[in-house]
Structure 1
Amino acid sequence: MYKCKTLFNLNKQIIVPVFLCFQVIIHAIILLLMFSCCHAADAESQNHPEKSTQKASTQPVEVAISITGIEGELKQNALAYLELKKSLNDPHFSKAWLQRLHKKAEKNIKDALQPFGYYQTKVTGTLQQTEDSSWLAQYTVVPGKQVKITEVNIVITGPGKNDPEILALIDNFPIKKGDPLDHTQYEEAKANITTGIGRLGYSQITTHSKKVLVDTKNNTANINLEFASGTKFYLGAIHFHQDMLNEDFILSYLQNIKTGDPLSQNTLLELQHALYSSGYFSLVDIKPDFEHVKNRDQVPVNITLKPAKRHKISFGIGYDTEIEANVSMRWQHRRLNRYGHYGDILTKLAPKKSTFRVSYWIPTGDPSRDKYGIITSVETEDTDTTDRTTFDLETGYWFAIKEWENTLFTEYRLEDFVTGNDPSTTTELLSFGARTQRVNYEQGLFPRRGWSVYGEIRGATEQMLSDIDYLRLYLKSRLLLPVTRKGRLVLRAELGMAESNDYDSYPSSLRFYAGGDQSVRGYDWKALGPKDREGNVIGGRNIITGSLEYDHQVAENWVVAGFYDAGNAYNDSLDTVYYGAGFGIRYISPIGLIKTDIGFPLKSDDDISDNNFVFYFGFEMNL
Structure 2
Amino acid sequence: MRLIGRWLGGVLACKATGFALLFVFARLVHADGLVQIELAGLKGEQADNVRATVTLFQLDVEERADLPEGRLGWLIRKTPNEVRKALEPFGYYTPTVDVQLLPTMQGAKVMITVTRGVSTKLRQRSVVVDGEASDDARIQKAITAFKPSIGKRFVHSTYSRSKAHIESELAAHGYFDAELLKARVEVTRADSAADVDLHWQSGRRYRFGPLYVDGSHIDARVLTRALGEPTGQPYDVNVLLGVHQRLTDLDYFGLIDIQPQIEMADGDQVPVTVDLSPSRRTIYSAGLSYGTDSGAGVLFGLDRRWVNARGHKWSNRVQWSQVNPRVDSTYRMPAYRWFDGWYFIGLGYREESTDSVENRIGEAVVGRDGRFGEWTLGASLHALRERYLRARSLGDYATALLVYPALQANRVHYDDPLYARKGFSLSGEIRVGSDALWSDFSFAQVLGSARWVRGWGEQGRVIARGQFGRTFGGNLQGLPTSLRFYAGGDRSVRGYAYQEISPEDAVGDPIGGRNLLVGSLEYEHMFDEQWGMAGFVDAGNAFNDVSEGLRIGIGTGLRWRSPIGPVRVDVGHGLDDPKRGWQLHIGIGPER
* TM-score, length of structure 2 as denominator length: 0.80
Residue 404 (structure 2) aligned to one of 431, 451, 474: 431
Residue 109 (structure 1) aligned to one of 83, 97, 109: 83
The answer to which structure has the higher helix fraction is 1
CA distance in 2 between counterparts of 1:549 and 1:521 reads 11
Equivalent residue letter for 1:516: G
1:361 has 2:335 as partner: no
1:565 has 2:538 as partner: yes
Cα drift, residue 305 of structure 1: 1.9
Equivalent residue letter for 2:341: D
Give 2:6's aligned residue: none
Residue 284 (structure 1) aligned to one of 253, 256, 265: 256
Cα drift, residue 77 of structure 1: 2.8
1:20-66 deviation line (CA, Å, top 9, x unaligned): xxxxxxxxxxxxxxxxxxxxxxxxxxxxxxxxxxxx88x79642513
CA distance in 1 between counterparts of 2:113 and 2:136 reads 49
CA distance in 1 between counterparts of 2:411 and 2:98 reads 59
Q: Is the 8 A contact 2:468 2:517 kept in 1?
A: yes
Give 1:187's aligned residue: 160
Equivalent residue letter for 1:82: V
Give 2:362's aligned residue: 391
Cα drift, residue 327 of structure 1: 0.6
In angstroms, what is the RMSD of aligned CA positions? Answer: 4.0
Residue 111 (structure 2) aligned to one of 122, 127, 137: 137
1:371 has 2:342 as partner: yes
Give 2:308's aligned residue: 337
Q: Is the 8 A contact 1:127 1:138 kept in 2?
A: no
Give 2:582's aligned residue: 613
Q: Is the 8 A contact 1:278 1:368 kept in 2?
A: no
SS at match of 1:517: coil
Question: Which piece of structure 1 moves more, 124-133 or 98-107?
Answer: 98-107
Cα drift, residue 138 of structure 1: 2.7
Distance 1:74 1:527, change over 3 A: closer
CA distance in 2 between counterparts of 1:251 and 1:589 reads 43
Give 1:412's aligned residue: 383
Question: Which piece of structure 1 moves more, 352-361 or 142-151?
Answer: 142-151
Q: Is the 8 A contact 2:132 2:204 kept in 1?
A: no
SS at match of 1:424: strand
CA distance in 2 between counterparts of 1:492 and 1:171 reads 40
Question: Which piece of structure 1 moves more, 522-531 or 268-277?
Answer: 268-277
Give 1:498's aligned residue: 471
CA distance in 2 between counterparts of 1:283 and 1:103 reads 57
Give 1:453's aligned residue: 426
SS at match of 1:137: strand
Equivalent residue letter for 1:543: L
CA distance in 1 between counterparts of 2:50 and 2:134 reads 43
Equivalent residue letter for 1:547: S
Give 2:290's aligned residue: 319
SS at match of 1:191: helix
1:227-264 deviation line (CA, Å, top 9, x unaligned): 67566432111122245223332233334x72223446
Distance 1:341 1:139, change over 3 A: same
Distance 1:444 1:542, change over 3 A: closer
CA distance in 2 between counterparts of 1:594 and 1:162 reads 53
CA distance in 2 between counterparts of 1:509 and 1:177 reads 62
1:202 has 2:168 as partner: no
State the percentage of identical aligned residues: 27
CA distance in 1 between counterparts of 2:219 and 2:332 reads 17
Distance 1:91 1:595, change over 3 A: farther
CA distance in 1 between counterparts of 2:474 and 2:200 reads 76
SS at match of 1:115: helix
Cα drift, residue 415 of structure 1: 0.8
Q: Is the 8 A contact 2:339 2:370 kept in 1?
A: no
Give 2:22's aligned residue: none
Equivalent residue letter for 1:337: N
CA distance in 2 between counterparts of 1:94 and 1:480 reads 52
Q: Is the 8 A contact 2:35 2:65 kept in 1?
A: no
Equivalent residue letter for 2:230: K
SS at match of 2:67: helix
Q: Is the 8 A contact 2:133 2:175 kept in 1?
A: no
1:404-438 deviation line (CA, Å, top 9, x unaligned): 33322211010112251332211111112222233
Cα drift, residue 188 of structure 1: 2.8
Equivalent residue letter for 1:420: R
Give 2:25's aligned residue: none
SS at match of 2:325: strand
SS at match of 2:165: helix
SS at match of 1:343: strand
Q: Is the 8 A contact 1:473 1:496 kept in 2?
A: yes
SS at match of 2:157: helix
Cα drift, residue 489 of structure 1: 3.5
CA distance in 1 between counterparts of 2:356 and 2:143 reads 73
1:88-143 deviation line (CA, Å, top 9, x unaligned): 7x577526289475454333212213334655655331111235757351334565
CA distance in 1 between counterparts of 2:425 and 2:219 reads 37
Q: Is the 8 A contact 1:592 1:621 kept in 2?
A: yes
Which residues of 2 match residues 18-37 of structure 1 at below 5 A?
A: none
The answer to which structure has the higher strand fraction is 2
CA distance in 2 between counterparts of 1:164 and 1:563 reads 54
CA distance in 2 between counterparts of 1:139 and 1:323 reads 63
Cα drift, residue 486 of structure 1: 4.2
Question: Which piece of structure 1 moves more, 263-272 or 579-588?
Answer: 263-272
Q: Is the 8 A contact 2:33 2:66 kept in 1?
A: no
Distance 1:236 1:458, change over 3 A: same
SS at match of 2:532: strand
Q: Is the 8 A contact 2:122 2:149 kept in 1?
A: no
Give 1:251's aligned residue: 224
Cα drift, residue 401 of structure 1: 4.1
CA distance in 1 between counterparts of 2:577 and 2:430 reads 34
Cα drift, residue 306 of structure 1: 1.6
1:536 has 2:476 as partner: no
CA distance in 2 between counterparts of 1:426 and 1:315 reads 33
Give 1:310's aligned residue: 281
Q: Is the 8 A contact 1:236 1:301 kept in 2?
A: yes
1:557-585 deviation line (CA, Å, top 9, x unaligned): 33311122233323456546433221002
Q: Is the 8 A contact 2:463 2:523 kept in 1?
A: yes
Q: Is the 8 A contact 1:580 1:599 kept in 2?
A: yes
Cα drift, residue 480 of structure 1: 3.7
1:318-364 deviation line (CA, Å, top 9, x unaligned): 11111111110111111123332212101100121101001122221
Distance 1:302 1:573, change over 3 A: closer
Give 1:235's aligned residue: 208
SS at match of 1:77: helix
SS at match of 2:256: strand
Which residues of 2 match residues 473-488 of structure 1 at below 5 A?
A: 473-480=446-453, 483=456, 486-488=459-461
Equivalent residue letter for 1:253: A
Q: Is the 8 A contact 1:169 1:193 kept in 2?
A: no
5+ residue gaps in structure 1?
1-55
SS at match of 1:513: coil
Question: Which piece of structure 1 moves more, 220-229 or 493-502?
Answer: 220-229
Question: Which piece of structure 1 moves more, 441-450 or 380-389?
Answer: 441-450
1:601 has 2:562 as partner: no
Cα drift, residue 267 of structure 1: 5.5
5+ residue gaps in structure 2?
1-29
CA distance in 2 between counterparts of 1:218 and 1:475 reads 59
